[in-house]
Every structure is written in C-alpha cells, then in structure tokens.
Copies of this chain bind each other. A is one copy, B any other.
Amino acid sequence: MPNKISQGFTVWFTGLSGSGKTTASHLLAKRLRDAGACLEVLDGDVIRTRLSKGLGFSKEDREENIRRIGFVCELLSRNGVIAIVAAISPYRAMRDQVRTNIQNFVEIYMDCPIEVLVGRDVKGLYKQARAGEIPHFSGISDPYEAPLHPEVTIHSAEETEEEGVEKIWTTLHTLGLISCDRVQSQNIV
C-alpha cells in the first residue's frame, strides 16, 4: 500500500493574464517529472470546470475559487505530492490565507509590466478588456495585488522561460524541497 512519507509542496504562480504562468508551470512540471517527482498541475481552466463550475469573476467568486484550489493543494502537499498552480489569484490576502494552510508554499510572482502585456496581447483579451467587453479583468478593470515577499520573482518581459524556471529550481533546492543527490521519501515497511 502507499506508505511513504515524503515532502510535498505547492508552487503557486501568480501574475496577470499573459505573464507566462502556464508556460513556466508546465516547464517546471516537466523538469520535476523528469526527476521522478509525483505532481499535479492545477490548471485554471480545468479547475474552473471541475472544481468551480458556476463561479464567476467577482471578488467573492475569485476568492472562493482560490480557496478551493488551496484546499486541493493542501491535500496533495501533505501527502507528499507536489502541486503546481497557475492562477492569476489577484488578491494578496487570499494567497496569504492559502499559504497559512500549506506547510511548504512557494509563491512565484510573474512580474510583467502591464504595457508589455497590452502590447503583446496574444489572445486579444486586453483589447477586449480595454473596450469594456470583458468585465472584471485583472490589471484593467479589476485589481491585481502583487506579492510583497514572493519566494521567486520572474521578470517575464526580460527573462526567458528557461531562466525563470532555473531560478525556481535553485530556490526549491535552497528551501530543501528538492535534492539531486538524495531521495527525500522514506518507506515505512
């Protein structure tokens, strides 16, 4: 039966739409999987379908959405699984509340100037948001509160995705959450 005690943790990407959260989260997931880790990527769209159907984008609904993601991260992390979240999660207090419930919580701030995001606008969402066609759009018609003390800040307008993930990797090492030369799981027979 499953019987290891190993160290789970949660890597939580926060940042505006288009700041590179999803790409970085999948790159990190690949690197961790290649190293043999058990993990789940909690993707915003999947969560909205499977955990938060019916919730919208008001402050209250966003907070409830984050609470639920946080609950799932808590369950995974405390059982030795790595949870990786990519969610705008614009409210600082809510992220901090999630943090208090998770022993190893690593917050990654994808920092990108709004003018860069508006300039890129890969999905055309910023144009729509500025035209008032998408209400509650973080950074345009809704607040985004950057973390004050994230474990890692990635300046995604200046750093490549690989550089960003390398910074995260180093931090996970420094925090003692990953290690290349030893296995942190223990079996109890």
Q: Could you tell me which A residues sit within 8 Å of B by CB distance?
A: 1-8, 32, 35-40, 50-51, 53-54, 64, 67-68, 71-72, 75-76, 79-82, 177-179, 183-185, 187-189
Given contacts A68-B51, A72-B72, A178-B1, whether A38 and B188 have CB atoms under 8 Å apart is no
Chain B: CB-nearest residue to A4: B4
Inter-chain contacts of A81 with B (CB < 8 A):
2, 76, 79-81
Chain B: CB-nearest residue to A40: B75
Interface contact B82-A1, CB-CB below 8 Å: yes
Interface contact B50-A68, CB-CB below 8 Å: yes
SS class, residues of chain A in contact with chain B? loop
A8 to B38, CA, bound (A): 12
Q: A35, A64, A75 — which one has the most chain B CB atoms within 10 A of its CB?
A: A75
Chain B: CB-nearest residue to A50: B71
Given contacts A6-B2, A64-B53, whether A187 and B185 have CB atoms under 8 Å apart is yes
Inter-chain contacts of A68 with B (CB < 8 A):
50-51
A178 to B184, CA, bound (A): 23
A178 to B68, CA, bound (A): 30
How far, in Å, is A104 (CB) from chain B's closest CB? 11
Inter-chain contacts of A67 with B (CB < 8 A):
50
Inter-chain contacts of A38 with B (CB < 8 A):
2-5, 79-80
How far, in Å, is A26 (CB) from chain B's closest CB? 17
A38 to B32, CA, bound (A): 21
Interface contact B187-A187, CB-CB below 8 Å: yes
Q: Which 8 A-B pairs have the closest CB atoms?
A: A3-B36, A36-B188, A2-B6, A1-B178, A79-B81, A2-B80, A50-B71, A4-B4
